[in-house]
Amino acid sequence: MAAAGGRPIFRRMRPLLLAFLSLILAAGARAQPAAFRVEPFASGLENPWGAAFLPDGRLLVTERPGRLRLVGRDGRVSPPLAGVPQVEAAGQGGLLDIALAPDFARTREVYLCQAALVPGGALTRLVRARLSRDARALQRVRPILDATPPQASGRNHYGCRIVFGRDGALFLSVGERYETKQRAQRLADLGGKVLRLSRDGTPWRGNPFAGRAGARAEIFTYGHRNPQGLAVNPWTGSLWEAEFGPLGGDEINLLRPGRNYGWPVVTHGRDYDGTAIGEGASRPDMEEPIHVWLPSVSPSGIAFYTGGAFPAWRGSLFVAALNPPGLVRLSTEGDRVTGEERLLQDGPRLRQVVQGPEGALYLLTDEAEGRILRLVPAR
């Protein structure tokens, strides 16, 4: 009762004092680098690509060659789960991302993204399945969206991240498949797009191109190259995306419905032979990235940090970088990037970063003898 009351002067001042205290704490947190250490968590994974924590704290992890495993809280790696769909494991393709449905605890539904072979070539495919009660198998496995058209040659640029928005919409990123950059600009083509879908793979109601002749109703945004990072900003609800540029020009984009993110018309990068691409770096009718890397970091998975283990990192966006390898921390304010820090620059290529239930960061290494590393506070 005393704590809830107090002397009148403090009672009246308390909101102001608390706000002031918050500011001081926040400023301190920003100024002071977090002390962390990296510890091995799991090993024996071949090119792990995507990961999702179950409510019980175990981690589902995909291996690009086409396996799905469960990693216990002690880091022990299970045998491959049964029922995993066949994948086109070649080039950059294979079994790629995994995400739990928002109502997983009730439905046990999971979503997988993969490279699939169909007549005409390979494409990015979204699959829905249920995790069996004993978590040893996928059941009722159903492909629910093929990012057509397939491409006959080349096995690159599948994109393939899955996230759910606050309203339950499923976002899927799809690469432009590398061989024909212009696919990213074609609205009748699902390559080089971020899609917004219902849980059954059909277009989300209210999508920007629904009803437009010659345009696919699944499209949320277009003009993407190879988007392998997707995350919903937990403070603003906005969808953030990371994509690989060519030689330089890796981007973080803030995705808004119907917008054109420019590839290959505008880019800050150059082609791999050093020549220019498109018309330059920007155009009024196309969206500017909110962050660009020149030279590249090759950003794959991204995750906003909301945990308590590293108070100084709350609000940061972490980026798993392949080349040069490392973990990039972007400090953010609202939907802006305000700073950048490079961590683990002497480490392995990183494919994905996910926050664990205890606030540690789990990093998937892109290696044939792949591992999961864990960032925990230094003691």
- Known catalytic residues are 157
- Token pair for 61: 């992890």
Which of 174, 296, 300, 179 shows the shortest CA–CA distance to 245? 296
Tokens at 362, concatenated? 């789990």
Cα(first)–Cα(last) distance of the chain, in Å?
37
Does position 145 interact with its own copies (CB under 8 A)? The reply is yes
Which residue in the block uniquely carries the two structure tokens 């495919």? 125
Could you give the CA distance from residue 42 to residue 25 in angstroms, rounded to a whole number?
35
| The one among 12, 30, 37, 142 contacting its own copies by CB under 8 A | 142
Q: How far is the CB of 220 from its own copies (least distance, A)?
A: 18
Q: Does 144 participate in binding its own copies (rule CB under 8 A)?
A: yes
Strands lying side by side in the sheet with 239-244: 226-232, 239-244, 250-255, 291-293
90 binds its own copies per the rule CB under 8 A? no
Footprint of its own copies on 182-201 (CB under 8 A): 201
- Shortest Å, Cβ 379 to its own copies: 48
Of the pair 125, 329, the CB lying nearest its own copies is at 125
Closer of 148 and 233 to its own copies (Cβ): 148
Instruction: Please identify, among the stretches 49-57, 112-120, 171-179, 221-229, the one whose residues bind its own copies according to the rule CB under 8 A.
Output: 112-120
137 makes contact with its own copies (CB under 8 A): no
For residues 191 and 42, what is the distance between their CA atoms, to the nearest angstrom?
Answer: 34
- If binding is defined by CB under 8 A, does position 135 make contact with its own copies? no
Q: Distance (Å, rounded) from C-alpha 47 to C-alpha 93?
A: 11
Instruction: State which of residues 32, 86, 338, 345 lies at the interface with its own copies (CB under 8 A).
Output: 86
Q: Which two tokens stand for residue 73?
A: 């809280």
* Residue number with CB closer to its own copies (147 or 302): 147
Question: Residue 116 CB, nearest distance to its own copies (Å)?
Answer: 9
Q: How far is CA 322 from the centre of its chain?
A: 14
Closer residue to its own copies (CB): 30 or 142: 142
How many chain residues are in contact with its own copies, going by CB under 8 A?
A: 14
User: How would DSSP label each residue in 47-114?
Assistant: SEEEEEE-TTS-EEEEETTTEEEEE-TT-PBPPPPBTPPP---STT-SEEEEEE-TTHHHH-EEEEEE
Q: What part of residues 200-239 is at the interface with its own copies (CB under 8 A)?
A: 201
Closest C-alpha to 190, from 163, 230, 150:
150
Does position 139 bind its own copies by CB under 8 A? no
Q: Per CB under 8 A, does 11 bind its own copies?
A: no
Of the candidate residues 26, 29, 118, 188, the single one contacting its own copies (CB under 8 A) = 118
Contact in structure between 217 and 209 (CB atoms under 8 Å):
yes
Q: Which amino acid is at 367?
A: E
Closest approach of Cβ 85 to its own copies, in Å?
7
Amino acid at 282: S
Q: How far is the CB of 364 from its own copies (least distance, A)?
A: 25
Stretch that binds its own copies, among 118-126, 165-173, 238-246, 265-273 (CB under 8 A): 118-126
Q: For binding to its own copies (CB under 8 A), which residues are involved?
A: 85-86, 117-119, 125-126, 141-146, 201
